[in-house]
Chain A
Amino acid sequence: MQVKTQPLSVAADAQPDDEVALHHLKAAISLRNVDVTFGGEAGPVKAVSNVNLQLRKREFVSIVGRSGCGKSTLLRVIAGLLHPSAGDVAVMGSTAEEARRYRSFGIVFQSNVMLPWLTALENACLPLEIIGTSAIPPRFSPATLLEMVGLKGHESLYPRQLSGGMRQRVALARALSFDPPILLMDEPFAAVDALTRQKLHSLLMDICARTQTTVLFITHDVYEAVLLSDRVLVMSERPGTIEADIKVRFPRPRGPELRSDPEYGALCAQIMNLLMNEK
């Protein structure tokens, strides 16, 4: 069920539910009628129900929803880490499982765990080490990589010597190190303070403009979602399903000054309402 919404800078998304197969293949990420059911002791629990979504290449899409609504589950389905109980997942024209093996995903989690025995640089380059650089030379040199996330000069620090914000930067560099076409971010900035988060927002938008990466961003912070995204998907709770699909048409580059724009405020309020009003 899609809620049609039409505020000033927002148009309801025009995609019909019955997407043609061609679009399914051409999209960066495409989910059709995806269900995820977990078998629990008290019977099966449907975590995600009938989700349809499409991300075009280079699009930045956020999914907002309350905690426990299944948004992280959805991210794991897309990453090929979890099999959906029903429905189709296509990533860059292949299955999620194939896309995972083609190394299509850079993932950033909320608690950005590092290997404590590796330096910031070694942690950031860990995926490159695993994948091996013999076949395709990496797009970014390790030095450029850390410079991109603003960690130049901190290459040889160990995780315990890094602040929360710096660790997020390393995690971002780690996800970008092998230049994946898709970046999956699971509440990446939920654990950092507001000021650091603002800096990280600008950094992420700069990097996306530079790398042209498709981003799926999971968050419960509506303001963050609207600031960063081209589109915001509102997810309802238990079972999680996409309730609304809202276009965000503020011009880029966007900066913190957008926060004082009344249209921005109105749009955030509208999305908040959608989240608050669900049963």
Chain B
Amino acid sequence: MIAILKKIWPVVLFCAIWEGACVWLKIPNYIVPPPHRVLERIVESWSLLCSHSLVSILEIMAGFALAAIGGILCAIAMVHSQRIEAVLEPFLVVSQVIPKVALAPLFIIWFGHGIEPKIIIAALIAFFPVLVNAVVGLRSVDAEIMELMNSIAASRRQIFWRVRLPNSLPYILPALKVAALLSVVGAMVGEFVGSDRGLGYLMILGDVNLDTDLLFAALAVVTAFGLVIYSLLEMFERRVEKRYGKGNAPQLVTV
């Protein structure tokens, strides 16, 4: 308990100042509601927030899973074959440069207002950090280890399972952490652009009705959810790092 308090005291202090500022400066609720009001609103609209959260969580999870699996498989293919790499490379460079958020309206046109376009946007945004880091991790095997494996005529499959894949774990896991948070961004952006469900939809609803309490409540729930995913992945990452060592892949983030 004390350990947690030691970690979050700046946040508590920040909330206290926020609360104080709202009271002393008489800031109206529709501009910035005080923290206690946000908490009250979360309790009042609990069932509403819950049902919309479920939609967002589904989008985020599905987007993240697609990005993680797709990114790792793509990286394996690229490391495996130079031809595949040559074909994919230009597309990857271009898709790095395109602001993927700007594609959101397009996906709404193509796939409608359901959860599918949100999943696709989330996956697309989260995909590249996974891919880039996985490629670096799979490639960054020590040259002498490769010579050693070749000197005993190890097959490509053996080298992959015994050396490449474990070697890439410390590179892939930090990327998954980034990807998880990016898929939250992706889902929210998708919901902003066009939806009738989800936390992003609630935020827009709060915005147009000047119901700033609701906007902040939804924001608090999204933030809490992001924190949970992040800490879970970080715990996992630490365990992997302990066993497989630390990677030093470039942390590539594009939104």
| Residue ranges of A at the interface with B (Cβ–Cβ < 8 Å) | 76, 79-81, 100-101, 103, 105, 107, 109, 111, 113, 115-117, 126-127, 129-131, 160, 174, 178
Residue of B nearest to A127 (CB): B152
CB contacts (< 8 Å) of B154 on chain A: these are 130
Return the contact of B151 from the options A105, A115, A116 (Cβ within 8 A). A105
**Closest-CB distance, B162 to chain A (whole angstroms):** 7
Is the pair B244, A117 in contact by a Cβ cutoff of 8 Å?
Answer: yes
Is the pair A76, B166 in contact by a Cβ cutoff of 8 Å?
Answer: no
Is the pair B162, A130 in contact by a Cβ cutoff of 8 Å?
Answer: yes
Is the pair A103, B244 in contact by a Cβ cutoff of 8 Å?
Answer: no
- Besides A109-B147, A127-B152, A160-B245, 10 more A-B contacts (Cβ < 8 Å) are A81-B147, A105-B152, A107-B147, A107-B151, A111-B144, A113-B144, A115-B145, A115-B167, A117-B243, A117-B245
- Is B149 engaged at the interface, CB distance under 8 Å to the other chain? yes
How far is B148's CA from A80's CA once the two chains are assembled, in angstroms?
11
How far is B145's CA from A2's CA once the two chains are assembled, in angstroms?
36
Is the pair A100, B153 in contact by a Cβ cutoff of 8 Å?
Answer: yes
**Closest-CB distance, A8 to chain B (whole angstroms):** 39
Is the pair B149, A130 in contact by a Cβ cutoff of 8 Å?
Answer: yes
**Closest-CB distance, B125 to chain A (whole angstroms):** 31
| Residue ranges of B at the interface with A (Cβ–Cβ < 8 Å) | 142, 144-145, 147-154, 158, 162-163, 166-167, 243-245
Can you report 8 residue pairs joining A to B where beta carbons are below 8 Å apart?
A: A79-B147, A80-B151, A101-B153, A107-B147, A109-B148, A111-B144, A113-B142, A117-B243
CB contacts (< 8 Å) of B243 on chain A: these are 117
Is the pair A113, B145 in contact by a Cβ cutoff of 8 Å?
Answer: yes
How far is B191's CA from A260's CA once the two chains are assembled, in angstroms?
83
Residue of A nearest to B155 (CB): A130
- Given A103-B153, A130-B154, are A115 and B166 neighbors across the interface (CB < 8 Å)? yes
How far is B188's CA from A3's CA once the two chains are assembled, in angstroms?
79
Is the pair B244, A116 in contact by a Cβ cutoff of 8 Å?
Answer: yes
Most buried by A among B144, B154, B158, B244: B144
Residue of B nearest to A113 (CB): B142
How far is B144's CA from A80's CA once the two chains are assembled, in angstroms?
14
CB contacts (< 8 Å) of B145 on chain A: these are 113, 115
Residue of A nearest to B243 (CB): A117
Return the contact of A79 from the options B142, B151, B162 (Cβ within 8 A). B151
CB contacts (< 8 Å) of B151 on chain A: these are 79-81, 100, 105, 107
CB contacts (< 8 Å) of A76 on chain B: these are 147
Is the pair B158, A109 in contact by a Cβ cutoff of 8 Å?
Answer: no
How far is B30's CA from A204's CA once the two chains are assembled, in angstroms?
80
CB contacts (< 8 Å) of B144 on chain A: these are 109, 111, 113
CB contacts (< 8 Å) of B149 on chain A: these are 130
CB contacts (< 8 Å) of B142 on chain A: these are 113
CB contacts (< 8 Å) of B152 on chain A: these are 103, 105, 127, 130-131, 178
How far is B179's CA from A1's CA once the two chains are assembled, in angstroms?
63
